[in-house]
A and B are shown apart, each in its own frame.
Chain A
């Protein structure tokens, strides 16, 4: 009986390992062969850093750097705006009447459940109407608005559960102790909501950073490229060049290190508690 259980466990772990291996195979190969200097999976030129040297070549990296800059500006402004908007509106939504609250939360869900393509084209058509095209200039403004529109719902939903758990007496107590509603909000309610606000911000930032479809439809013809649209424009036509091998490798490693670090820290914190 015991032997059978151990056998089952080995089979299960073998299966998990196999799926993981398949999931990471393309990523792993890209990282390994980023040191080959070519775009084939072979070390015919030996082990070199040539692909990485291209990153410092001003001719190669100009477009990449400007795409990185745009991505950073867009992701930062969209996530900051949606966090502020989301934090205040969550408090407002919580205080709304039953029917209004339900309606607002339903509309809030729309961008989360809707297919990205539909949201992207609807915004594109909206911005192209004669009336709105003059109000909202092409380029970064439209991109920030559309990113805020699909990020804020996630911020609201990450703050709302915490607000629902909050003891309303805390706020009343602050008022009784002489705080005006505004400072009570600032010094009592917001600090309590902080974990939700932070995770909402993190979610908005990564969503905006990762977005491709909505950006692709709403970037207009001002020539603004973010990292994803630049990759799409450049690498989809030609096959993957050595330059991209290096860029992708750096992305994989930085992303994985960051996420693992955050989660190991979280686990350690929980263990200590």
Chain B
């Protein structure tokens, strides 16, 4: 801002951001504010805490569903981590130069998840596997595994190999090198992989519906139900959305804490 013309131009350039800021304010921020307001309104648009009471006293079973979803989400995330970490590790160790091989593990992400889920359902029906908790978990892991592998692979590949060599030179055996060098260095990948699996896993609907013939009901299904035309209990649905939003923010804080300067790849 040494001379005037430059300053003047900066103002005009800034103006390019204004339409987008208004757009995001209107279609991202305002809708969330409406949800927040709805959480405090009853059917006659009067202020009330009844929605929170109803959710947290579990009259509609919301809390139970949340508990179930958290458990299923945790188990799914754990299985994905246990299967996915070795995949990302071996890929980084032995196939770092082969992009296509890595791509094969990520590819299913681009096929519509309904198509993938219905394909697994067809397989279960063929094998006469009864639809239930097991099949839902399989479908969840099947769907979210690539989302776990991708960030893990990105961090594992970017680890400076000289750290590993230094650890070996200092006399660490293989296990120690892994536990004390590789694992801590890949922490940011683990956290972002866990978030990318856990949040969609607890809030999804359709996967549990398709793979359990609607027997298993998750948090996403519950939100869906509260906002559907037949039930129409916007208040409780809004409270559930706020709870979901809180979980999202918490997990995002965790991601930011572990990867302060690194860019977290979103796709």
Q: Which residues of A contact B (CB under 8 A)?
A: 9, 12-13, 15-16, 19-20, 23-27, 29-30, 39-41, 85-86, 88-89, 91-93, 95-96, 104, 107-108, 110-119, 121-126, 129, 145-146, 148-149, 152, 154, 156-157, 161, 181, 203, 206, 210, 212-213, 217, 227-228, 231-232, 235-236, 239-240, 244, 248, 251-252, 255-256, 259-260, 263-264, 266-267
Contact = CB atoms under 8 A, between A and B. Distances in A.
B205 A154 contact: no
A125 B232 CA distance: 11
Interface in B85-120: 86-87, 90-91, 93-95, 99-100, 103-105, 107-108, 110-116, 118-120
Main secondary structure of the interface of B (DSSP, over half): helix
A259 B103 contact: yes
Interface stretch (B13-21, B56-64, B162-170, B178-186): B13-21
Contacts of A266: 99
Given A248-B115, A252-B115, A255-B110, 4 more contacts: A41-B126, A89-B17, A93-B20, A152-B23
B118 A244 contact: yes
B110 A122 contact: no
A236 B122 contact: no
A256 B24 contact: no
A260 B204 CA distance: 29
Contacts of B16: 88-89, 91-92, 95
Contacts of A119: 28, 31
Given A108-B24, A114-B248, A121 B115 contact: no
23 contacts: A12-B90, A13-B94, A23-B105, A23-B108, A26-B122, A27-B116, A40-B126, A91-B13, A104-B24, A110-B32, A113-B252, A114-B248, A121-B35, A122-B31, A122-B35, A126-B31, A126-B34, A148-B23, A149-B27, A210-B113, A212-B206, A213-B205, A231-B112
A266 B19 CA distance: 35
Contacts of B238: 125
A210 B110 contact: yes
B71 interface: no
A251 B227 contact: no
A88 B20 contact: yes
A92 B14 contact: yes
Contacts of B38: 125
Contact of A157 (B13, B103, B220, B266): B266
Interface residues of B, number: 80
Nearest to A89: B20
Interface of B: 9-10, 12-21, 23-25, 27-32, 34-35, 38, 83, 86-87, 90-91, 93-95, 99-100, 103-105, 107-108, 110-116, 118-123, 125-126, 142, 145, 199-200, 203-206, 209-210, 220, 223-224, 227, 234, 237-238, 241, 244-245, 247-248, 252, 263, 266-267
Contacts of B100: 260, 263-264, 267
Contacts of B14: 92, 95-96
A29 B245 CA distance: 38
A231 B119 CA distance: 12
A259 B110 CA distance: 9
B246 to A, nearest CB: 10
B255 to A, nearest CB: 8
A154 B266 contact: yes
Contact of B83 (A19, A40, A124, A235): A19
